[in-house]
Amino acid sequence: MAGNSFGTLFRVTTSGVSHGPGYLVIIDGCPPGLPLSVDDLLPDLQRRRPGQSSLVTQRDEADLPEIWSGVFEGVTDGTPIGILFRNSDQRSRDYDDIRDKYRPGHADFTFDAKYGLRDYRGGGRSSARESIARVAAGAIAKKLLSRLGVRVLGYVVQVGPIRAEIPDPTAVTLDQVESNPVRCPDAAAAARMIDLIEQVRKERDSIGGVCELVATGVPAGWGEPVFDKLKADLAKGLLSLPAVTAFEYGAGFAVAQARGSQNNDPFVRKDGRIGTETNRHGGMLGGISSGEPILLRVAVKPTSSIPQPQRTVTRSGEPTEIVTRGRHDPCLLPRFVVMGEAMVALVLVDHYLRWKAQCGPG
């Protein structure tokens, strides 16, 4: 199956399904000499893991990585890094009665249309559990970026109709994000979001929202001017995550109502460099980073697996009803945050290496 690798110079390949033995990720292109151990991966993996609060799926997985290659005497050796995760809490029997039914909102029908068969246990290859491999790779990318002074941070800015007030996205801290289970730095909004998620969970339903992602410290000059624009690769990376249905950066869709005189960011001199007075361009101009913070937002749909009856059809097209059993997130946003961070970090470190290859050490 094509499409299992991402990146050009920092290249990530994942393998595995949600109800199989586990997941494998290969990270190729990581420079040698980077101190790396399991402990470097655990913080983000713990932020992603199931069962961390009542707001997320209660599947019980330790999500402990096993580094099989690419690290020698505590540092990366320049060869492909192989990391294995073992599944331990699959409940495939929960899916026996949907073997021949298509779940609304899922990839069941489209997998059948493409391959003529599908793994009906959980989401198979399209399961969000695949993101464990990306988060591990993203943790390595983050560590590389931190040496360059680049920070990537995400947080929940909206759940359903409840929207947080974030006056300065660049001022948000990890401690603020992690201060509550919904991962929203606005404490008052977070409390209302938690109440809403608990409400929809009790109603056997789900709710969507918006994740905002900020990259600070990215210098001007990363990216390509045509097909491999930095914004295009960020969009591809984030849209490749399960449940993401929309992407915007900077002012986003608000530019549709603006005039050029309102939308353009004036250039100024700041801190000994050229910058812009405002940042409606979201840190990217012409597909290349401008040196201003990169600001992104993605919309995440409500979890498709809900434990209430829904209309559907069988593989033969016969009308029927389906109730999705199993353990599912009533809202994907709390665990999505670290997945979004991972994809942003992977894109940025790849473009850093591409810039370095084109321009030398600078």
Looking at the structure of the chain, the number of domains it has is: 1
Query: Residue 82's closest CA among 136, 128, 144, 135?
Result: 136
Query: Residue 144's closest CA among 355, 346, 362?
Result: 346
Residues 6 or more apart in contact with residue 180 via CB below 8 angstroms:
187, 190, 191, 194
Per-residue pLDDT of the chain (362 residues; tens, 9 = 90+): 578 999 999 999 999 888 788 899 999 999 999 999 999 999 999 998 765 556 665 555 678 999 999 999 999 999 999 999 998 755 555 566 778 888 888 888 888 888 888 777 767 778 888 899 999 999 999 999 999 999 999 999 999 999 999 999 999 999 999 999 999 999 999 999 999 999 999 999 999 999 999 999 999 999 999 999 999 999 999 999 999 999 999 999 999 999 999 999 999 999 889 999 999 999 999 999 999 999 999 999 998 888 888 898 988 899 999 887 766 788 999 999 999 999 999 999 999 999 999 885 54
Distance CA 45, CA 78 (A): 23
Supply the pLDDT for residue 127.
Answer: 81
| Phi, psi angle pair for 322, to nearest 5° | -135, 140
The parent domain of residue 182 ranges over: 5-359
Beta bridge partners of 341: none
Residue 98 carries which side chain, given as an amino acid letter? Answer: I
Paired sense of beta strands 81-86 and 71-72, if any? unpaired
Residue 269 carries which side chain, given as an amino acid letter? Answer: R
Query: Residue 78's closest CA among 32, 25, 22?
Result: 32
Q: Residue 268: which H helix or E strand, with range? A: strand 267-270
Supply the pLDDT for residue 124.
Answer: 74
CATH classification of the domain holding 62 = 3.60.150.10
Quote the tokens at residue 184: 């929203």
Quote the tokens at residue 343: 């994809």
Supply the pLDDT for residue 100.
Answer: 84
What does the longest C-alpha to C-alpha distance in the chain come to? 68
Q: What is the DSSP string of 180-249?
A: STT--S-HHHHHHHHHHHHHHHHTT--B-EEEEEEEESPPTT-B-SSTT-HHHHHHHHHHTSTTEEEEEE
Q: Taking a C-beta distance cutoff of 8 angstroms, is the pair 319, 313 a contact? A: yes
Its pTM stands at 0.93
Q: Taking a C-beta distance cutoff of 8 angstroms, is the pair 312, 101 a contact? A: yes
Query: Residue 206's closest CA among 87, 305, 90?
Result: 305
Q: Taking a C-beta distance cutoff of 8 angstroms, is the pair 48, 339 a contact? A: yes
